Amino acid sequence: MKVLIPSALLSYTGQRYVQAHGRSLLAVIDDLERQYSGIRFRIIDEQNGMRPHVRFFVNGEQVFDLGRRLQPADEVAIVQALSGG
Amino acid sequence: MATGKNKPNAARNTVSARGKRAHRAVTILVGTRKGAWLYHADAARGDWRSDGPHFLGHIINHVVLDPRDGKTILAAAKTGHLGPTLFRSVDGGRSWKEAAQPPAFAPTARGQAGRVVDHTFWLTPVHSNQADVWYAGTSPQGLFRSQDGGVSWTPFSCINDDAQYRRWMGSAQDGTPDGPKLHSILIDPRDPDHLYFAMSGGGVHESVDGGRSFTPLLDGLDVVEGFDAAQPTFHDPHCVRLCPSNPDRLYQQNHCGIYRLDRPARQWHRIGQRMPKRTGDIGFPMVVHPRDADLAWVFPMDGTQVWPRTSPAGQPAVYATRNGGQTWQRYDSGLPQRQAWWTVKRQAMSADALEPVGLYFGTTSGELWMSADEGRTWRCIAQHLPEIYSVETGVLA
Residue B216 CA: distances (Å) to CA of B190, B199, B219, B226, B231: 21, 11, 9, 20, 9
User: Measured between CB atoms, does B10 come within 8 Å of chain A?
Assistant: no
Residue of B nearest to A45 (CA): B116
Which amino acid is it at B132?
D
Please provide the distance, in angstroms rounded to a whole number, between the alpha carbons at the two ends of chain A: 31
Which pLDDT score is estimated for B3? 54
Would the CB atoms of A47 and B5 count as touching at under 8 Å? no
Q: Nearest C-alpha of chain A: how many angstroms from B110?
A: 9
Q: Would the CB atoms of A37 and B116 count as touching at under 8 Å?
A: no
Q: Which amino acid is located at A12 in the chain?
A: Y
Does this model's pTM top 0.95? no
Mark yes or no for CB contact B85/A41 under 8 Å.
yes
Which of B140, B391, B178 minimizes the C-alpha distance to B285? B391
According to the model, what pLDDT value does residue B109 have?
Answer: 82
Domain tally, chain A = 1
What is residue B163's predicted lDDT score, i.e. its pLDDT? Answer: 93
**Predicted pLDDT at B58:** 96
Q: Express each pLDDT in B336-347 by its tens digit.
A: 999 999 999 999
Contact state of B116 with A11 under an 8 Å Cβ cutoff: no
pLDDT at B347: 97
Domain span holding position A58: 2-80
Q: How many CA atoms lie within 13 A of B226 on its CB side?
A: 0
**For position B267, what pLDDT does the model report?**
98
Q: CB–CB of B82 and A43 under 8 A?
A: yes
User: B2 touching A, CB under 8 A?
Assistant: yes
Q: Is residue B110 part of a domain?
A: no
Q: Tell me whether B83 touches chain A (CB under 8 Å).
A: yes
Whole-number Cα distances in Å, B87 to A28, A60, B99, B152: 25, 34, 6, 11
Beta-carbon separation of A45 and B2 below 8 A: no
Q: Considering only alpha carbons, which residue of chain A is nearest residue B100? A: A38
Helix (H) or strand (E) holding B12: strand B12-13
Nearest beta carbon to residue A37 from set B5, B100, B108? B100
In a domain, A21, yes or no: yes
Which pLDDT belongs to residue B2?
Answer: 60
Nearest by Cα to B357 from B260, B291, B284, B286: B291
Contact: B100, A38; criterion CB under 8 Å = yes
Low-confidence residues of chain B: pLDDT under 70: 1-24
Tell me whether residue A44 is in a domain.
yes
Question: How far are the Cα atoms of B248, B271, B329, B372 from residue B323, in angstroms, in the given order?
Answer: 16, 10, 11, 21
Q: Which helix (H) or strand (E) holds B163?
A: helix B163-169
Let me know if residue A85 belongs to a domain: no
| Selection from B162, B158, B71, B153 nearest residue B120 by Cα | B153
- Determine whether the interchain pair B81/A83 forms a contact, defined as Cβ–Cβ distance below 8 Å: yes
Chain pair A-B, CB pairs under 8 angstroms: 65
Task: Work out how many domains chain B is built from and give that number.
Answer: 1
Q: Which residue has the higher pLDDT, A13 or B10?
A: A13
Residue B389 resides in a domain: yes
CATH number of the CATH domain containing B79: 2.130.10.10
One-letter amino acid of B75: A
Q: Using alpha carbons only, how large is chain B's radius of gyration in Å?
A: 20
Give me the interface pTM, i.e. the ipTM. 0.90
Domain that holds residue B28: 4-105+115-394
How far is it, in rounded angstroms, from Cα B197 to Cα A35?
Answer: 38
- Asked whether residue B288 is domain-assigned, the answer is yes
Report pLDDT for B306. Answer: 87
DSSP symbol at B84: P
* Best residue in A46, A53, A54, A55 for a mutation probing chain B (most B CBs within 10 Å): A46
pLDDT digits (tens, 9 = 90+) for A28-72: 999 999 999 999 999 999 999 999 999 999 999 999 999 999 999
Eight-class DSSP state of B140: T
- The answer to whether A47 contacts B107, with C-beta atoms less than 8 Å apart, is yes
Which chain B residue is nearest to residue A81, measuring alpha carbons?
B81
CA B306 to chain centroid: 24
Residue B355, domain member (yes or no): yes
CATH code (residue A70): 3.10.20.30
Indicate if the alpha-carbon torsion angle B13, B57, B156, B214 is positive or negative: positive
